[in-house]
Chain A
Amino acid sequence: MTYRESSGRYLGVVVGGSMTRGVDVRLSPDCPVEEMALGQHVVIQGQSRRFYGVITDIALEWSDDSIRANPPDTSNPLIAGVVATSAAYAMLRVLPMLAIEGEFAMLDGPAPARTVPPHFAPVRLASEEDVQVVFGAEDSRHFWVGNPLDMETRVCLDLEEFVTRSNGVFGKSGTGKSFLTRILLAGILQKSAAVNLVFDMESEYGWMGTSEGTGMVKGIKQLFPSRVGVFSLDEDHSRRRGVSPDYLLRVGYNQIEPGDIDLLRENLGLSEVAADAAYSLARHYGQERWVRSFLDVSGPEMRELAADLNVNERALSTLHNRLSRFRRYDFMTERESDESVEEILRYLDRGIHVVLEFGRHRHDLSAYMLVANLLTRRIHERYVRRKEEAMGDASREPRPLVITIEEAHRFLSREVASQTTFGNIAREMRKYNVTLLVVDQRPSGIDEEVMSQLGTKLVCLLDNERDVDAVTAGTYGARELRSVLSRLDSKQQSLVFGHSVPIPVVLRVRDYGTAESYRELGFLEASEMRRQMERDADDLFGGRD
């Protein structure tokens, strides 16, 4: 199939620029500058190849300095028309990202641009066909996530590529992170690219989530009832919301390790000395019993214990005081076997995705972090062991797993990322078939090394300078992306860049919440489901006469 000349709208010609800054395009007088937008995709037709780029700046230029001091009389339509098409004009800055060579680009696909188009090369807005050549059509591994601004073409993520690395969804609160995450989870489910384990802090993904504007939306359990299991820490809360959890999760004091306390140090307001004391306590009482035994210590015994352990008594009693909060968690029990972890693994092994709801503990970050870290550590350990046991035999390897965590900067901050399981997972990529989907509103709080390892970033509106710096650091055209990023709409728009898209793209994220959107994701209403079953039965047993 040949790739015809682009049919997109003519914008102008290249008049200068460089590879690092991007090329300057003189906007044609017939093209109103108001209709241009940052982040729009354009194609530049060179002599032997076609360049695909992104608009990263739009500027008003003038060829006559005097009109800045004495603007012409634009109330006269003749003068206004002439000045707008001659002495005062608009320039676009376009960053060439991809080069498509030859006529058979449909087969070869695009490659990163390593040069710039020549002077006066014509520039057009990317047409639907251009976008499709670059992003690929929807198929068994490409999942439609949204449309470029002002276009109906579907932009697809290569989900098989996507799940091979840890990825991030970022954005200020209220800009659609959960919305986007829900779509990604549904996509991973629909394409069976991996199994999900979601630490669902706000109970938004499993069963009924809220979405600004449309109110309540279906969770992934409702879309794919037989392929998603809802685990809960708070049965009452789940039942009140009309969901009967598949499993009630419990955590035993014996399962808490000193490392978990280290992670919670900032949250619990512990000094380094106090957090270190946890290690001494674990040595003193033994891993299985240290929390329970320590919580039973009271009054004068504390001084003796401090002397025994050779730790500061005040630090020890602060630790005691903070750990006592765990008593309020009704999901904590004296002792738990690893049954919960086994159950999660059994689900995951069968290809059933697991959403863990926190119920009333959703406002308690310590509970969320404690449980997420504790479970992830154990699941990761199993995955590492099983992967090593499989010794390269793909059929024995565990299914690729994507762990979704919210408030990710708490788990992946500079201080703790090097010690936590989450930090390890983010750094080691797919080595053990486990990757992260981090959801966060403060990416600047995440360790730089972890950020640099994230494969694909889906970023909704961010306006804090440091956050914007953090997500764009190390990306080609970072400075240009920054300007695009701070101009995103606060609803249903996202800038996607990284490993699984060939070029950064601003998306209008696909709909989620309408009957049609559910159907497109593979959801069947009860009546449709019945018809489908009857059809299947007919196919299987032969049609009825």
Chain B
Amino acid sequence: MALGGDARVGEVVESSSTGFVSQSYRLYGAPHLGALVRTGGPCPAYGVVHEVATRGIDPSRRPTARGEGEASEEDVYRSNPQLEHLLRTDFRAVIVGHASEGGTLYHLPPSPPPIYAFVHVCVADELSAFSASTDCLRLLAGSGIAALEEVVAAFLRHAVAAQPDPQAFLAGAGRQLAALIPGDFRTVESILLRAAP
């Protein structure tokens, strides 16, 4: 598969077979919830962002309030330029597949992405190609992450925008979800209602 342009957003700072945590280069610059990201090589792993968190770089020191005398929230950051370096934005992704010479495989890569691997956001053609098969939902739906419904719906919202026939795509995804989440059509229904454009 042709890999997309260089929409580099961060680096892997924690990695395992099923997911990775990346630090965003820019404070608050993490990809959106449900975005498809790619990292590592030669078999790049694809992940879906399921948690974005911003906190102080020193976990023992909680940020203190600074804006009492400021007119706006933006002014807080302007007046304290060091904040950009004292705070960091991390995002977690669950691995949903990987690329290989033969194309996209919707199962876990043989090894997790290395630490410091660059993380890219997949857009347009790459996203459309990855989500062309409803198998792309298999690892995500079975991942047991928190707020699963929300993340799946968010992923579908991104994917549907890249598909030539959104209705057919959603119907196919719905059937796949019904098979992946057996005995709970309510959940499938609520995901679809949130994913529909």
- A positions within 8 Å CB-CB of B: 29, 63-67, 70, 72-73, 76, 78-79, 81-83, 85-87
Given contacts A66-B183, A86-B178, 18 further A-B contacts (CB under 8 A): A63-B178, A64-B185, A64-B186, A66-B186, A70-B186, A72-B186, A78-B196, A79-B189, A79-B192, A79-B193, A82-B175, A82-B188, A82-B192, A83-B178, A86-B175, A86-B188, A87-B178, A87-B188
Which chain B residues border A81 with CB–CB below 8 Å?
171, 174
Nearest B residue to A88, CB-CB: B185
User: Which of B170, B178, B182, B185 interacts with A78 by CB under 8 Å?
Assistant: B170
Interface status of B167 (Cβ within 8 A of chain A): yes
Residue pair B193, A76 in contact (C-beta under 8 Å): yes
Contact with A along B1-33 (1 / 0, CB 8 A): 000000000000000000000000000000000
Residue pair A65, B171 in contact (C-beta under 8 Å): no
Cα A29 to Cα B192 with chains together (Å): 19
Given A76-B193, A87-B188, A82 contacting B171 (CB threshold 8 A): yes
- Which residues, 156 to 197 on B, are CB-close (under 8 Å) to A? 167, 170-171, 174-175, 178-179, 182-186, 188-189, 192-193, 196
In angstroms, how far is the closest chain B Cβ from the Cβ of A71? 10
Residue pair A66, B188 in contact (C-beta under 8 Å): no
Cα A85 to Cα B193 with chains together (Å): 17
18 contacts between A and B (CB under 8 A): A29-B175, A64-B182, A65-B183, A66-B183, A66-B184, A66-B185, A67-B185, A70-B186, A72-B189, A78-B171, A78-B192, A79-B174, A81-B174, A82-B171, A82-B174, A83-B189, A85-B175, A86-B174
In angstroms, how far is the closest chain A Cβ from the Cβ of B169? 11
9 closest A-B pairs by beta carbon, nearest first, are A86-B178, A82-B174, A87-B185, A64-B185, A64-B183, A86-B175, A67-B185, A72-B189, A81-B171
- Chain B interface residue bracket vs A: 10 to 19
Which chain B residues border A79 with CB–CB below 8 Å?
174, 189, 192-193
Which chain B residues border A67 with CB–CB below 8 Å?
185-186
Q: Which of the listed residues B178, B182, B183, B185 has the most CB atoms from chain A within 10 Å of its own CB?
A: B185
Cα A78 to Cα B183 with chains together (Å): 19
Q: Which of the listed residues A66, A67, A76, A82 has the most CB atoms from chain B within 10 Å of its own CB?
A: A82
Which chain A residues border B183 with CB–CB below 8 Å?
63-66
In angstroms, how far is the closest chain B Cβ from the Cβ of A12? 15
Interface SS of chain A: helix, strand, loop or mixed? loop
In angstroms, how far is the closest chain B Cβ from the Cβ of A82? 3
Residue pair B186, A63 in contact (C-beta under 8 Å): no
Which chain A residues border B185 with CB–CB below 8 Å?
64, 66-67, 72, 83, 86-87
Cα A85 to Cα B176 with chains together (Å): 10
Residue pair A78, B184 in contact (C-beta under 8 Å): no
Cα A86 to Cα B189 with chains together (Å): 12
User: Which of A70, A78, A85, A87 interacts with B167 by CB under 8 Å?
Assistant: A78
Cα A315 to Cα B175 with chains together (Å): 80
Which chain B residues border A85 with CB–CB below 8 Å?
171, 175
In angstroms, how far is the closest chain B Cβ from the Cβ of A87? 4
In angstroms, how far is the closest chain A Cβ from the Cβ of B24? 34
Which chain A residues border B196 with CB–CB below 8 Å?
78
Which chain A residues border B179 with CB–CB below 8 Å?
86
Residue pair A78, B174 in contact (C-beta under 8 Å): yes
Which chain A residues border B175 with CB–CB below 8 Å?
29, 82, 85-86
Which chain A residues border B171 with CB–CB below 8 Å?
78, 81-82, 85
Nearest B residue to A81, CB-CB: B171
Cα A79 to Cα B185 with chains together (Å): 10
Nearest B residue to A87, CB-CB: B185
Which chain B residues border A63 with CB–CB below 8 Å?
178, 182-183
Nearest B residue to A85, CB-CB: B175
Nearest A residue to B167, CB-CB: A78
Which chain A residues border B182 with CB–CB below 8 Å?
63-64
Which chain A residues border B192 with CB–CB below 8 Å?
78-79, 82
Cα A76 to Cα B171 with chains together (Å): 12
Which chain A residues border B178 with CB–CB below 8 Å?
63, 82-83, 86-87
Which chain A residues border B186 with CB–CB below 8 Å?
64, 66-67, 70, 72
Which chain A residues border B174 with CB–CB below 8 Å?
78-79, 81-82, 86
Cα A65 to Cα B184 with chains together (Å): 8
- Which residues, 97 to 125 on B, are CB-close (under 8 Å) to A? none
Which chain A residues border B188 with CB–CB below 8 Å?
82, 86-87
Q: Which of the listed residues A29, A78, A85 has the most CB atoms from chain B within 10 Å of its own CB?
A: A78
Nearest A residue to B170, CB-CB: A78
Cα A65 to Cα B170 with chains together (Å): 23
In angstroms, how far is the closest chain B Cβ from the Cβ of A378? 73
In angstroms, how far is the closest chain A Cβ from the Cβ of B63? 44
Q: Which of the listed residues A67, A70, A79, A87 has the most CB atoms from chain B within 10 Å of its own CB?
A: A87
In angstroms, how far is the closest chain B Cβ from the Cβ of A273? 72
Cα A271 to Cα B192 with chains together (Å): 78
- Which residues, 76 to 91 on B, are CB-close (under 8 Å) to A? none
User: Which of B167, B170, B184, B189 interacts with A73 by CB under 8 Å?
Assistant: B189
Cα A73 to Cα B188 with chains together (Å): 12
Which chain B residues border A70 with CB–CB below 8 Å?
186
Which chain B residues border A86 with CB–CB below 8 Å?
174-175, 178-179, 185, 188
